[in-house]
Amino acid sequence: MVGTGPLGRRRLCDRRRERDALDRLLGAVHEGRSGVLVLRGEAGIGKTALLDHAVETASSCRIARVSCAESEMELSFAGVHQLCGQMLHRLDHLPGPQREALGAAFGLTAGAAPDRFLVGLAVLSLLADVAEEQPLLCVVEDAQWLDQASAQVLAIAARRLYAESVAMLVAIREPCAAPQFEGLPELRVEGLRHRYARELLASVTPGALDARVRDRIVAETQGNPLALLELPRGMDPAELAGGFGLPGTPPIPHRIEESFARRVEQLPAATRLLLLAAAAEPTGEAQLLWRAAARLGIGAEAAAPAEADGLVELDARIAFRHPLVRSAVYGAASPDQRRTVHGALADVIDPGLDPERRAWHRAHAALGPDETLADELERSAVRAQGRGSLAAAAAFLEQAVALTPDPARRAERLLVAAQAHLDAGSAGAASGLLDAADVGRLDELGRARLERMRARIAFVTGRGRDAPPLLLSAARRLEPLDVRLARETYFEAMEAAMYAGSLGSGRGVLEVAEAARAAPPAPEPPQASDLLLDGLAALWTEGYAAGVPMLQRALAACRHSEDLRWHGLALRTAGELQDMDILQRLAPRAVQLAREAGALTALPLALNYLARWNLITGDFAAAAALIEESRSIAIATGSPPVPYSEVLLAAWRGHERDHGALAEEMLADAEARGEGRAITFIEQSSAILHNGLGNHRIALAAAQRACATSDSTLWVIPELAEAAARIGRPELARDPVERLSELALCIGTEVALGLRARSLALMAESRDAEDLFREAVDRLGPTRTTPHLARAHLLYGEWLRGERRRLDAREQLRTAHDMFESMGATAFASRAARELLAAGERAPTPRVETRSRLTAQEAHIARLANEGLSNQQIGARLFLSRRTVEYHLGKVFTKLGIGSRTELGRVLPHVAGGDP
């Protein structure tokens, strides 16, 4: 909405701190920078007044304003449409994929469900395009009532605003939760100080108040401006003299709402009905309201008493004095009155232009069960899901449930709605719907599906010890009912048990594997997930010799699978088998599928696996960008963070303090949830960190702990071997290295055989050692595992120096140093530099001193620009606007002392690795 603030605007008092924060935000926008500020506070505390102040102050800005309403929370992309509705003539300025995604989200074009993050980038690009002509101030009021899709999209855009001359102000009523906006800059709005509260109270109180009563009122309202303004209205002198603190009185927001309700009660019946229609249709479209009013037999004169009392402003758009007026109006109406106005609104909405809103109003107008209307709501759910709004689909299905006459059909729809919520990343809402499901009305298959869904919620929300036994129980229950679904559930139980690891209950993964082996075979033809499940079950029950060939066939089939559900475990399996070809193909594809499906519960995990791939290849800048995106999505959806790649990146970079803080946070969270895999991962990353820093005793202890609690030995044992050899105790690693040798020969990939050769070389006698080091370099060279290749050169060089072959050692150590430096593995680079110095060569000077001053995002942008991508293409890939890319490139050029893209190749060392 573009326009003015609500009625009753008053002079701000006692708001110096808040006004200074707003002035800084708007000042930055006028200087060409963007900014975000989230205002949090209770109802009536003054958030709206501050938003109005910002709008008035930003006289040179274009204003886009969103007023959210609770009744609109289930309408997909309603908030985004309100914000961008008057900008849609600029859609042609957006890149094709963004234009199509935003058009599909708004129902302007037909197509598949839009990627939620692509919609977010489209909104960002649209705002940036508008701001090129005039600085833009976006105001979102009552953001706790944004529909889920809009909240996620606006949070995505807000986190990527930087250099677009766009300010975003978001007001959130506490104690309501709005997790999507957590982590953004925020300002808590408190009550007025006593002096200003007394002045405000005096301005609306007839006559003089006893000082003690006045102070009591100020204290009990806690300086809430709206309470001070509104509560005295309609109270007689005796009530006012008594203060507001009578025993048992409701909280301030409820008392303010009651005050508004008393004022509404004094209005004529026609006026109250008109206000009810306005409250029931939160889009604020005056033409729609007047069409509904005509159907109700209400004339234009009915608006005058409400406007005279300052409760509402009826202009081109409808503006209530405060959201509590809207809720007071709607809450005071009888069920019959609500049904009447909803019915009138449904009658005047064009079903061809807005079928979902019409169905929504029809549902609220219904007198009782109506299967025809329930079917219409179900179709609305399908349309909402097609636009990528699973939360809206779940809301329509919930309404359909209430209108479904058949109990069994009603229970079935509840399950479907719960599944939609779970897929949308709202596990809490899904759990609530399952609680409402009438188990007695479900058949045996329905009850088994309900059990499975509860187990899946436990996994999504915890990834710990609770989920595996629940999923295993659900899988066994499903076996005689639905073989395909039972096998899918065994697959999920396998993944959950792997996450629980050493903290799992019972016999962990082995118990799940045995049950899966005993389950009925897959229907023909088997899917990729069937092959993967069978291979994992064989691996755990019969060993590598039996399992590896089956898993390799399964991974080959997974190359062509479009089913996102299995990609996580397929990627983990490919990593354990060190199959770089599969990882290179599957990791980017998993991210693409998650984005296309809008599967926000799966996307952080997929991004994490893609970051792991970039770490394996040495592209630390790309990994850092993916880690940042994964964290922002987890925050937006309320899912547990996925810190695996983040702690591993800190280890490879040699950032001991960052690694320690991350590991401590990760350990506390993992122990609380029972995610044993995370604990093992911390130990593995600690071994890498301390091997790089030269703290080999610490590295040895960490690697031993990791090997003792994990099956993931192919990556850990090389750390153990290196640490044991460096402290002169190679015998401590001899048995583990023999096991590594056996597994690597079974797997047969070049990476596995290269790490085997590198580890055996540390245990070997002189002549055998050199042959094994050369084999390690030769095998790892073509595999793109750049960090591990660099470590092979480093270890070979260290061995050569020990053999007093200083010239040969320098060659290997220089190669290792340059590789480590180019990828940003600073601890290993320093270790190589020390070895070079000991081998008689001066400590090398960093090839690009300024590169270390580039942020992860700047380095990533520079690399993509060097590859020939345009600013718009870089922005699309990194979810940034074109102007922000331009800004960062300018900083890159300054830091690197160059003037154009053509010079990037000269000053930036080539970094091998895949792109996100």
pLDDT digits (tens, 9 = 90+) for 518-538: 999 988 888 888 899 999 999
In the 8-state DSSP scheme, what is residue 65?
A: E
Least confident of 178-182, 374-378, 383-387, 396-400: 383-387
State how far the Cα of 99 lies from the Cα of 711, in Å rounded to an integer: 47
The residue with greater pLDDT, 268 or 437, is: 268
Contact 794, 809 (CB under 8 A): no
CA nearest neighbour of 552 among 571, 525, 574, 572: 574
Q: What is the pTM of this model?
A: 0.66
Residues whose CB is less than 8 angstroms from the CB of residue 331 and which lie 6 or more positions away in sequence, other chains included: 257, 261
Over residues 131-142, the mean pLDDT reads: 91
pLDDT range class, residue 597, cuts 50, 70, 90: low
At 814 the pLDDT is 93
Contact 673, 809 (CB under 8 A): no
CA nearest neighbour of 621 among 306, 867, 452: 867
At 111 the pLDDT is 59
At 588 the pLDDT is 86
- Which region, left, alpha or beta, applies to residue 250 given φ > 0 means left and ψ of -120 to 50 means alpha? beta
At 114 the pLDDT is 65
pLDDT range class, residue 643, cuts 50, 70, 90: confident
Least confident of 200-214, 635-649, 825-839, 879-893: 200-214
- The pLDDT > 70 percentage for the chain reads 87
At 285 the pLDDT is 81
pLDDT range class, residue 827, cuts 50, 70, 90: very high
At 74 the pLDDT is 65
Helix (H, G, I), strand (E, B) or coil at 14: coil
pLDDT at residue 778 greater than cutoff 70: yes
At position 781, the amino acid (one-letter code) is G
Element holding 827 (H helix, E strand)? helix 826-838
Over residues 81-104, the mean pLDDT reads: 82
β-partners of residue 38 are 170, 186
Neighbours of 462 (CB within 10 A): 19
The residue to which tokens 């899988």 are assigned: 475
Task: Share the mean pLDDT of the chain.
Answer: 83
CA nearest neighbour of 591 among 570, 607, 576, 614: 607
CA nearest neighbour of 509 among 528, 522, 490, 526: 490
At 910 the pLDDT is 40
Tens digits of per-residue pLDDT, 469-492?
999 999 999 999 999 999 999 989
pLDDT at residue 692 greater than cutoff 80: yes
Least confident of 332-336, 447-451, 856-860: 856-860
At 240 the pLDDT is 53
Over residues 415-432, the mean pLDDT reads: 78
Contact 124, 157 (CB under 8 A): yes
Least confident of 39-48, 359-368, 636-645, 646-655: 636-645
At 246 the pLDDT is 45
At 216 the pLDDT is 64
CA nearest neighbour of 420 among 392, 442, 455, 447: 392
The residue with greater pLDDT, 287 or 256, is: 287
Query: Tokens for 517?
Result: 């082996």
At 571 the pLDDT is 86
What is the end-to-end Cα distance of the chain in Å, rounded? Answer: 36
pLDDT at residue 749 greater than cutoff 80: yes
The residue with greater pLDDT, 424 or 373, is: 373
Residues whose CB is less than 8 angstroms from the CB of residue 436 and which lie 6 or more positions away in sequence, other chains included: 414
889-896 long-range contacts, CB within 8 A, separation 24+: 889/861, 889/862, 889/865, 891/858, 892/854, 892/858, 892/861, 892/862, 892/865, 895/850, 895/853, 895/854, 895/858, 896/848, 896/850, 896/851, 896/854, 896/862
State how far the Cα of 611 lies from the Cα of 621, in Å rounded to an integer: 10
Q: Give the CA distances from residue 636 to residues 146, 180, 629, 838, in Å, rounded to whole numbers and listed in that order.
A: 13, 4, 11, 51
At 270 the pLDDT is 94
Least confident of 459-468, 643-652, 677-686: 459-468
Q: What share of the chain is helix, strand, coil (3-state, %, to 5)?
A: 70, 5, 25
At position 679, the amino acid (one-letter code) is I
Over residues 662-682, the mean pLDDT reads: 86
Over residues 203-220, the mean pLDDT reads: 67
Query: Tokens for 404?
Result: 């479904």
Helix axes 211-221, 194-204, angle to 10 degrees: 110
State how far the Cα of 230 lies from the Cα of 217, in Å rounded to an integer: 13
pLDDT range class, residue 515, cuts 50, 70, 90: very high
Over residues 721-749, the mean pLDDT reads: 93
Over residues 725-750, the mean pLDDT reads: 93
DSSP string, 511-548: HHHHHHHHSPPPPSSPPHHHHHHHHHHHHHHH-HHHHH
pLDDT range class, residue 171, cuts 50, 70, 90: very high
Tens digits of per-residue pLDDT, 223-246?
888 878 776 665 555 555 544 444
* For the chain, counts of helices (H) and of strands (E): 46, 7
The residue with greater pLDDT, 142 or 178, is: 142
At 391 the pLDDT is 66
- The pLDDT > 90 percentage for the chain reads 32
Over residues 267-295, the mean pLDDT reads: 88
At 911 the pLDDT is 35
pLDDT at residue 195 greater than cutoff 90: no
State how far the Cα of 896 lies from the Cα of 32, in Å rounded to an integer: 23
CA nearest neighbour of 826 among 688, 670, 667: 688
pLDDT at residue 916 greater than cutoff 50: no
State how far the Cα of 696 lies from the Cα of 683, in Å rounded to an integer: 13
Least confident of 151-160, 271-280, 471-480, 810-819: 151-160
* Parallel, antiparallel or unpaired: strands 312-314 and 318-320: antiparallel
pLDDT range class, residue 851, cuts 50, 70, 90: very low
Q: How are strands ordered across the β-sheet holding 62-67?
A: 62-67, 136-141, 166-173, 35-41, 186-188
Tens digits of per-residue pLDDT, 303-312?
999 989 888 8
Least confident of 359-363, 605-609, 641-645, 691-695: 641-645
Over residues 65-73, the mean pLDDT reads: 76
Least confident of 86-95, 251-260, 731-740: 251-260
pLDDT at residue 119 greater than cutoff 50: yes
Buried b (16+ CB within 10 A) or exposed e, 365-376: bbeeebeebbeb
Maximum Cα–Cα distance across the chain: 103
Over residues 28-49, the mean pLDDT reads: 88
Least confident of 176-190, 365-379, 852-866: 852-866
